[in-house]
Amino acid sequence: MNKQEFTITVYTENQVGLLNRIAIIFSRRKINIESLNTSPTEVDSVHRFTIVINEIEEVVKKLCRQIEKQVEVLKAYYNTEEEIVWQELALYKVSTDAIAEKVKVERLLREYGARAVAIRKDYTVFETTGHREETDNLIKALEPYGLIEFVRSARVAIIKASNSFHDRLKEFEKKEPGEEVIENEYLDKNEEVFTM
C-alpha cells in the first residue's frame, strides 16, 4: 500500500467554526494538509471544502467517514487525480530587468502561457493556471533568471462523475432552505452588554 494524492471534497452547510472542526480531524491523525480551499456552490447556502492530502486509500476512506459524522457536513467524497478536473493558480514576481534584457525569459513565459498581472519599473508579476508539474517546471526554469517571489493557490476541483448528488442537493435546498449565517450580533454593542 503506498501513499497517493487524494482530493477530498466536502459539502457542508455554512457554519462558523466548521473549518476548525474539519481541520482537527486531520491534525489529530498527524496528516499534513497539502492544500485547502473553501468555496460556495451553485446551490444557495451549501459550501464546499476541497482538501488535498497524500495518504493511502484505507486511511482516506476512514477519514471521510469521520468527516461525515460532523453535523453540518452533508457528504464527503474522495478522488484520485484521474477522477477530477482541477486547476491551481500561481503568481510569480520577477524583476523587470531580467525580462527586459533576456529574450529567454520572455520566451519561457510565452511557452507556459503566463499572463502579466502587474507591470512596474522594478518588478513584474505573472500568473499561470494549470497543474502542479507545469507550475513546478516554470519555477525551476525561472530561478536562474532571478525569481523574487512565488506563491501557489489551493486546488479547486470538480469531480468528473458528480451529477446525481447535485440534483439531490438542489431538491433539498428547495424543500428546506438553509438559514442565514448570523454573525456575532453583539460585536458592535460593547457597552450594552453587561460584564463584571
Partner 1 sequence: MLGMHGNYGPNVLTNECDVLIAIGMRFDDRVTGRLDKYARQAKVIHLDIDPAEIDKNVIADIPVWGDCKETLPILTNLVEQKVYPQWLQKFKDYQQKEEEKVIYDELNPTGEVLTMGEVIRVLNELTEGNAVIVTDVGQHQMVACRYAKYNQTKSNITSGGLGTMGFALPAAIGAAYGDPSRTTVAVIGDGGFQMTLQELGTIMQFKPNVKIIILNNQFLGMVRQWQQLFNEKRYSFVDIQSPDFVQVAKGFGIPGKSICKREDLKTSLKEMLESKESFLLEVMVGKENNVFPMVPQGRGVAEIVLSKEEI
Q: Which stretch binds partner 1 (CB under 8 A): 29-37, 43-51, 64-72, 161-169?
A: 64-72
Taking the least distance from each CB to partner 1, the nearer of 76 and 114 is 76
Rounded CA gap, 31 and 110, in Å?
38
Q: Decide if 7 contacts 79 (C-beta within 8 A).
A: yes
Please give the single-letter amino acid code of residue 184: N
Q: Which stretch binds partner 1 (CB under 8 A): 62-70, 84-92, 112-120, 128-136?
A: 62-70
Asked if 111 is part of the footprint of partner 1 (rule: CB under 8 A), the reply reads no
Please give the single-letter amino acid code of residue 48: R
Taking the least distance from each CB to partner 1, the nearer of 18 and 157 is 18
Residue choice 3, 29, 65, 168 for contact with partner 1 (CB under 8 A): 65
> Contact letters (x/-) for partner 1, 11-50, by CB under 8 A?
----------------------------------------
DSSP designation for 181: P
Angstrom distances, CA of residue 140 to CA of 109, 144, 147: 12, 8, 9
Residue choice 62, 120, 131, 160 for contact with partner 1 (CB under 8 A): 62
Rounded CA gap, 78 and 7, in Å?
6
Residue choice 54, 56, 68, 96 for contact with partner 1 (CB under 8 A): 68
Bridge-based pairing of strands 46-55 and 115-119 is unpaired
Asked if 56 is part of the footprint of partner 1 (rule: CB under 8 A), the reply reads no
115: three-class secondary structure by DSSP? strand
Residue choice 66, 95, 137, 153 for contact with partner 1 (CB under 8 A): 66
180 burial class (0-12, 13-18, 19+ CB within 10 angstroms)? exposed
Residues found near partner 1 in the complex (CB under 8 A): 61-62, 65-66, 68-69
